[in-house]
Amino acid sequence: MIRNTSTSRRTVLSSIVTGAAVAVSGCMSGSSETNQSEADETKDEDNGIFDAVFVEEMDLVLELTEESSIDHVNVIAPDGELFAERTIPTGVRRETIQIGTSYTPGDYEIIAVEDEEEQATQSLTIEPDVDITDLRLARNHPEEMVEGASDIDIRTETIIRLENDGTGPDEIVGLSFSGDIPRPTPSNFSESGIYDTESDLNRHTDSVVLLPDDEILIYSQLMPFSASGDNVSCSPNTVEGEFEVNLESAVREDPTSASYMISYTGKDLNECEIEVESKT
């Protein structure tokens, strides 16, 4: 159980540990891969307690050595406050602590305690690192659009690939477009702007979760390239411009963004060849 408390690190180390162990583990539906890499994992064979500490999908995983005899673990957040605590029953060699997407990115301390005495401390950075690695217009790649997409979706929406090279999960809650496109996203737009692939109602999803060391495809639900927009024009002589894509995160304060060059060639937006190139 993750507890919201103002208990400091000093208080945690001096407190008497009581209660039963609570093991919380999480998994993402539809994912069978173990998202674990050297960057996600900290090994310390010298202290004789932690064999490995790493993030796996939505969980912080603690693997203990056979020699370990600790009875309690405290996890300290980057702000120095208690993030989670666990009682470790005798013989337990693996403990999972759910971190979800409500955590604060940064450096965490995992403190091993035995008989109220600190035995070892392990540090681990938990934070997402999300990039937009590819953007395609559905009109130019209809075969890659989500199954069940309408003709209007294909004519107006985009396909975006996201990668998380960080050590923590991220939750994307907003997608927006700005710049030289037919329909920039209004500043007061209240929906996520992300196509709900789990629904047959052609609606916005609330959010999408991106696990560490993973990649996903998302689809816009904003009609940014609708011919009904009047923010740009199309000409036989080719009109060029730039636009930006932004992702809002529930975990990180700063948005993820990517910029692109774009050209419009044709009679009008209804009969327009639109080409997009990543801006380097």
Half-sphere exposure of 95 (CA within 13 A, CB side): 29
Q: What is the 3-state secondary structure (H, E, C) of 19-81?
A: CCCCCCCCCCCCCCCCCCCHHHEECCCCCCCEEEEEEECCEEEEEECCCCCCCEEEEECCCCE
Same domain, 148 and 260: yes
Same domain, 153 and 78: no
- Whole-number percent of the chain with pLDDT over 90: 78
Q: What CATH code is carried by the domain that includes residue 121?
A: 2.60.40.3080
Weakest mean pLDDT among 12-21, 39-48, 68-77, 209-218 = 12-21
Position 89 in a domain? yes
Position 3 in a domain? no
CB burial of 53-77 (b: ≥16 within 10 Å; e: otherwise) equals bbbbbbbbbbbbeeebebbbbbbbb
Number of structural domains (the chain) is: 2
Same domain, 56 and 121: yes
Residue 280 confidence (pLDDT): 67
User: Binning pLDDT at 50, 70 and 90, where does residue 45 land?
Assistant: very low
Q: How far apart are CA 108 and CA 221, in angstroms?
A: 37
Q: How far apart are CA 13 and CA 111, in angstroms?
A: 9
Q: Which domain holds residue 196?
A: 130-278
Each residue of 79-104: pLDDT tens digit?
Answer: 999 999 999 999 999 999 999 999 99
Averaged pLDDT for residues 47-53:
89
Residue 199 confidence (pLDDT): 80
Residue with tokens 């419009």: 264
Does residue 206 sit in helix, strand or coil?
coil
Same domain, 190 and 72: no
Same domain, 137 and 117: no
Global model pTM greater than 0.85: no
Same domain, 142 and 94: no
Position 2 in a domain? no
Residue 70 confidence (pLDDT): 95
Is 130:89 a contact under the CB 8 Å cutoff? no
Each residue of 108-153: pLDDT tens digit?
Answer: 999 999 999 999 999 999 999 999 999 999 999 999 999 888 999 9
Same domain, 186 and 116: no
User: Binning pLDDT at 50, 70 and 90, where does residue 33 land?
Assistant: very low
Which tokens sit at 85?
Answer: 């605590």
Q: What is the mean pLDDT of the chain?
A: 86
